[in-house]
Structure 1
Amino acid sequence: MSVEAPAKPRLKTSAMIASIAAEGQRTVAAPFGHALSKLAETKQNIVGMSADLAKYTDLHIFQQNHPDRFYQMGMAEQLLMMSGAGMAREGFQPWLTTYAVFAARRAYDFLCLAIAEEGLDVKVCCALPGLTTGYGPSHQATEDLAIFRGMPDLTIVDPCDAIDIEQAVPQISDHKGAVYMRLLRGKVPAVLDEYDYKFELGKAKMLRDGADVLFISSGLMTMRTLEAADRLRADKVEAAVLHCPTIKPLDEKTIIKAVAAKPGRLVVVAENHSVIGGLGEAVAACLLGSGTVPSGFRQIGLPDKFLDAGALPTLHDRYGISTDQVVARTLSWLG
């Protein structure tokens, strides 16, 4: 008589959209929605528009507080971009939300020709950047930065946490022109206030210094590199973290200065994006063009492939962007 092994517990679907916050980490609920709603109290020309995803991009907070200035465009991202362009031409400042994959893959030409080329003041804020969902390639925007970096007159922002988002929203509004922001949604960790940090559009900020490794990072990977830097101390490795929340225009002056300050340390660029076409290649081109050559240069990012579906924590570990993997890879490179 055969005996079947007990079935392993299956991870619930929610694990595929798990929070990026570590257990016990401080979080802020819907920082983007609250920040935009607050800003709209004093800026009457702000309108919110979404492609059937207000609840899933935190724009529903704006919708609740300013229902007469919210527009639901349905599942039609190209229409969303064109309608935003029309609103901007009439003197409004439209904030458009959808998922990053839909803005980058489906609506690129409309954002490019109707908004960026025309120099219109439209803000495009997109959830699920990089590997922040386990729903597979249809929803994983692993190449959005590569797609958008080549678009002229488009500012690109990749915030780290709730603090970054809250501070970025008013500065993005004050900046005249098209902006694409990678959006962290839901319960977003809050870490940068522990580092006396202030967001400045177009500026990179050194959060901590260290003699052995320089992490240059953006987005949620700044959280991971900060965690990794703390853990590396146990191996007597001192790591610096330079946070680059603005991908374009890149703060090349600060990056070059940081690398040149300690030319003997390993430079590791960490990003929640494909290793093709993102922050890593932008930093490499910046350093090569300036003649600033570090003793070692490595990238931590997503591989150039379509990624699996599954539980988000498992995928982060599998594809090398978990804190454990950042620590292990850094130690292996240091030898």
Structure 2
Amino acid sequence: MRIGLRTVKTALSAALALLVASQLQLLYPTAAAIIALLSLTNTKHSSLITGISRLFSLALATAIAYLCFTFIGFNAVAFGVYLLLFIPSAVYFKLSEGISVSSVLVTHYLIEQDLSWQLITNEFALMILGVGFALLFNLYMPNREENVRENQLIIESLFKNILEKMADSLAEPESETHLLKDCLQIHDFIQKSSHEAQLLMENHWLARDSYYLDYFQMRRLQSNFLKDMLQLLEKTTIEPLQSKQIRDILLYTADHFVEENDGQTNLNKIAEVYESYRTMPLPQTREEFENRARLFHFLQLFEAFMEIKADFYTQHQEERI
């Protein structure tokens, strides 16, 4: 049995919330422990948003409960009317996160048959203790940046491998089916890496740098174009001159497939192939015409593949200097 960091933080925050609530002689101190348990999330940012949402939710719940219990009485009917009014109101004000917790605290008003300031203060103190200890223990989060950086290197290595194999397939034609599978694996790995980058970003309360999220988004878009290039390559017969030119570009791209590459040299090389393409004799048969059209489409996809990287580099170059 493995006990994770989040489990330890949850246990400690709940226990301390209960201990402090008991020491302060608050009514229903166990509620503070439950609130702490429910408020400790995966990231600092989400814990903060959850805590704030629950405090506002309790304020709304108390106001509605005050009206219902004052005019109907402290009974089941009043509690039912309270829920009919509170739930849609919380959803409208985007406070859904606090519906259950706030409603549990409202039952304390019902049990005590009281809505005095002392009891209202008691409920807010329970909420503040639970949320506060959850936030306190979420101040420590393991640094995920090393994992994210490692994922970047893995993804770049996988792209290089596919580009090299694409170049080899031009010299010695073979089925690209296995390369398509590799491309899908890259896409899946990028999705997982994006989730890791999201957690990294949300563990910074003030400076929330989206660089890594944007990086993985850029690679995800490139993986989509790479898949289309592979599918088109299966149907295209490339003449020897164009085969050498495209193979050289693929190998150059593989050799320089790094985070810092601005993509401009690759785009210039593609433009040279375009120019060579335009000077070729016109196709004489329908088959040649269709093949030439597929080659042109392949170059367009390759160009878009590199423009994605060039745009990303331009957007973020100042951030990584």
Which TM-score applies when normalising by structure 1?
0.21
Task: Write 1 or 2 for the structure with the bigger share of strand.
Answer: 1
Larger Rg: 2
Task: Write 1 or 2 for the structure with the bigger share of helix.
Answer: 2
